[in-house]
Amino acid sequence: MIILAIRKKAGDKGLTPELKELYNGALDGLNDPESLRKLASRFNGEGCKPEAFVMNKLADFLELPPETKSLFRELFKKAIASKDPVKVDKAAKACEEAGAIGSARALYEYAECLRKAEAA
């Protein structure tokens, strides 16, 4: 969601397939804030500002104290137990804004599944 808003505002066209693969790999498996920031800097230099922004948010999140991360784990658990897609979307947005990108992705997907189940 954040990426779409930034890309639309900047008139950005998007990623090459190679950068997309690198970006997704970084979000899924790179847990070192310094490495994420270096990669974000590269993406920024390539004109991929939205992706750089998200990687920097993730790096910031990884540096949060364990107590704060624990609050987001609890939020995730409550949201994934919910059957209300609106509540799940709100939790996903909170995770996304904080930089908990993996949790946000999973919750957005779950909310979409709930919507499909309601429509069936």
Q: Which domain holds residue 38?
A: 2-62
Which residues of 1-120 form beta strands (DSSP E)? Answer: none
Query: How many residues are listed for the chain in this entry?
Result: 120
Q: Do 9 and 57 reside in the same domain of the chain?
A: yes
Q: Do 44 and 75 reside in the same domain of the chain?
A: no
- Cβ atoms 107, 84 nearer than 8 A: no
Per mean pLDDT, which range of 14-23, 24-33, 50-59, 106-115 is the poorest? 14-23
Cα gap 55→43, rounded to integer Å: 9
Per-residue pLDDT of 40-97, as tens digits, reads 999 999 889 999 999 999 999 999 999 999 999 999 999 999 999 999 999 999 999 9
Q: Do 48 and 81 reside in the same domain of the chain?
A: no
Can you read off the two tokens belonging to residue 93? Answer: 């947005």
Q: How many domains does the chain have?
A: 2
